[in-house]
Structure 1
Amino acid sequence: MNEQLERLNRLPLRDDLRGQTPYGAPQLEVPVLLNVNENTHGLPQEVADAIAESVRQAVAGLNRYPDREFTELRERLASYLGHGLSVENIWAGNGSNEVLQHILQAFGGPGRTAMSFPPTYSMYPLLANGTGTEYIAGHRAADFTLSASSAADQVREAKPNIVLLCTPNNPTGTALGLDVVEAVYEAGSASNAVVIVDEAYAEFSHAGTPSALSLLPGRERLIVSRTMSKAFALAGARLGYMAAAPEVTDALRLVRLPYHLSAVTQATANAALAHAPALLANVEDIKAQRDRIVSELTELGLQPAESDANFVLFGGLENPRKTWQGLLDAGVLIRDVGIPGHLRVTAGTEAETTAFLTRLRELLSA
């Protein structure tokens, strides 16, 4: 590794990238993979067949560039989201990370700042750094919550150009009230801040949890991002999207690469959206397993955070690394997110959840 680092440092790398480490989570071949918040249920056969047929048809035209405006996909996404959105409000990319990158390229950059509130999605500072945007780390309460008054005060003080709000928050699973989004948007007026509400896990929220999509009318600096990786079980397809005022999508056209969404990606996403009810049928089961994890971890004397996502962050561990390794030795991979005393586990199938809980009980009793 040292030799590899030395070779890297001999290159004319940007100074702000020296010493940085890339994003990464362990990709191991074990029976129970519960570390990166994938939908472990997989695709229903009818959806897999529909996607295969859609891709087969797209293959006939692969000698031509794809629809640069991915119009059909934007129409389908607008219909799925509702809230009176139209094709002009929608943008998409190769995963929500690319959508966020587009936003940072358009509204961030050298001399500008982006702010979020750790612990939160670890890609935010990496995306900021990659676009030459200075990253500002705010803070949350000890229980990982973020109040409207605290968030607004921090934004007013920092005067960022971009604010990233993750709800449900990764890795804590905690959801934000719309009052937080409204307060941050208002506080960001002084710096003309773009406010991004990252709702990657929105479909797993408890019933009645509102979406920031309802706040879009009249707020031209507000963006709501989503993904098809989680609830739609399409992590391998790489399709993220966002909704915002039409002028925001116009801004992103200035920075996107030509034909950035391949014909195969568009065909896959269009077929999936045509079968949205079948793909989303497992969401309630995943939510039930998540709530089961929270309940049983509490009974074990641990401290799980209340989650509106498809994962649970839990604390109260004396040696998280030893627990993580003990689970891995039994073929169960979960995530060490670097928060002292805590680990994070994805809510999988009933069998996968049982495997995790059974092994965890053994480790704790030992």
Structure 2
Amino acid sequence: MPTVPILMPQLGESIAEATVIRIDITPGGVVEADQEVIEVETQKATMGVTTLCRGTVKEILAEEGKTYAVGSTLGFLEVTEDEAMRTGVETLEAAAESRSAEQPIASKGEENLHFAVDDDSYEELQPVVEPSVRGLPVPAGVKGAHYISPRMRARMDEMGLREADISAVVGTGAGGRVTVEDLEKFLDYISKWPSSHASPMRLAVADAMRRSWTRPLATVSRPVLLDRVLEHRRQQDPKPGLTLYVLRAFAKALAEDPASAGFLIGERIVHPRAFDIGVAVQVEDGVVVPVLRNVDTMTLAQLTDEYANMVDRARRRRLREDDTKGGIATVTNFGTFGLTHGTPIPLPNETLILGLAAGVKKPVWSAQVEAFVPATEAELIVTFDHRVVDGGGAGLLLGRIADLLQSPAGL
């Protein structure tokens, strides 16, 4: 019977690989067209690999826990000639015949100096992609490398290492340069240290933060009183989270001054065309940032429903690729962890990130009663790309957000 491969599909325009987390088929089992047979995890979500046609599972090549590149063969189906013709799928036999027809037959005296692929070696040549970044523990040391030689760069590329990964290595070369020998010695030194496998999401966060820090980032903060927000929240059903009040005030402030959310491309500052803002959501092994659309035009009630739906899907790893794209800024409420200050880092494609710290009861002077009264105060913190926004502009933005939070009914 004809054979059809089960391939790792293109799961998004920026996704090159995915990790198999569950296999729902066994050899000999019958599957239908478009049936989800393998569950895979990308950097931000879990997705399903489906079959192209009806058939019987012949062989499974994929293994749970392994990462495969887009286009890799995960298994094979046996299908009927009628099913292959009905669905228009290309079988391995048809592909082999097509290759044979296109390539001239070499004479016995000729030697092929390029790679030859035959059907028997097809399985062995399927790429299994290991994660490209491996975190290294950081021992105490003196100065490291400022210059990486071509030889060192080539060795790092072979091992999937970045410059940040070798910052812990003490260099013995000229001017403190890290040599290949230094790197090998360091890796041997830590080879028996406890370690754990970094998940695709953890690697995605690491990559995003590295790219973010290629820009000059700065952070400013100011206190904000939350008592009026808390009083308004108590009167609502369902009750919006504090994050949503801050999100709404942030969107309104940016709508008044869109330049604060612009991003620099060459000699131009590109301004936002919509106020789509992401919200950082803590999940098991990292952070995902689903994006809420047109926040400046939504009511708190609408945001409450949309936010609850997004958070639920984020924690179940059911976000679509479009759910995390197109944001112009992010809000993160790390106050839920009891933190009273922090320095959030914006995503590489965003200029701003606004953080809300934990509320703390403090004595605040009241001009009405001419005495100190207890009030709930929290820090609003914004980190920004200093190429686009200056400290004064960031301060004015925080001031406007704080003012809007004093009139929560208007949010």
Higher helix share: 1
Note whether the superposition's TM-score is higher than 0.5: no
Higher strand share: 2
Task: Identify which of structures 1 and 2 has the higher relative contact order when contacts are C-alpha pairs closer than 8 Å and 6+ apart.
Answer: 1
Q: TM-score, normalised by structure 2?
A: 0.22
Normalising by structure 1, what TM-score?
0.24
Highest Rg: 1 or 2? 2
